[in-house]
Amino acid sequence: MHLGNGQVEPCERTNNPKTQKLQGFYFEEVENYRTAEEQEAKNQEARQRQGRAELSAYRDAIIKPAIKRTEQAIKDSGLSNHARLTNTRSNKQADRDLERAQAYQSNIERVFNTAKNEAVSPQSKQSEPVQTRYVAPPSYTALLRQLDEEDEPGE
């Protein structure tokens, strides 16, 4: 440290990890390093805000049309709120049963079309073991996109 009267006083460093990583640098270099760190923190914050805004816009682009379709379906049903909300449990069960039946039918069609298209001879079929693979159900957002795509061409 310069004391101002031409004398220089040596200072001992602490064992603080922040000061240890900057050991051997000049004061100006440390200031530049800290300025760069602050700028990077601001840039990171801006990237996070941008990412959150994009996610929100993406979510709104999926949810708003779905809400409009739901509201339109409620209006088209002609049922009062009370009539619509009674027997909710049985209505949900009926919807699940319908979805299962549709999934079952589509799986049967897929298996039938696959077997029809392959037309494998009996000899080669014996040498190749049949492998079954798990197929994950579609995600909620994928279903919303699919519904949105189905609605767009007709509008």
> First vs last Cα of the chain: how many Å apart?
76
Q: What's the confidence (pLDDT) of residue 44?
A: 93
- State the pLDDT at residue 90: 84
* Range 82-90 contact pairs with CB under 8 angstroms and sequence separation of 24 or more: none
Which residue positions in the chain have pLDDT lower than 50? Answer: 121
Closest CA to 60 of 146, 137, 141, 150: 141
Please tell me the pTM assigned to this model: 0.37
- Cα(47)–Cα(44) distance, rounded to whole angstroms? 5
Q: What average pLDDT is seen over the chain?
A: 80
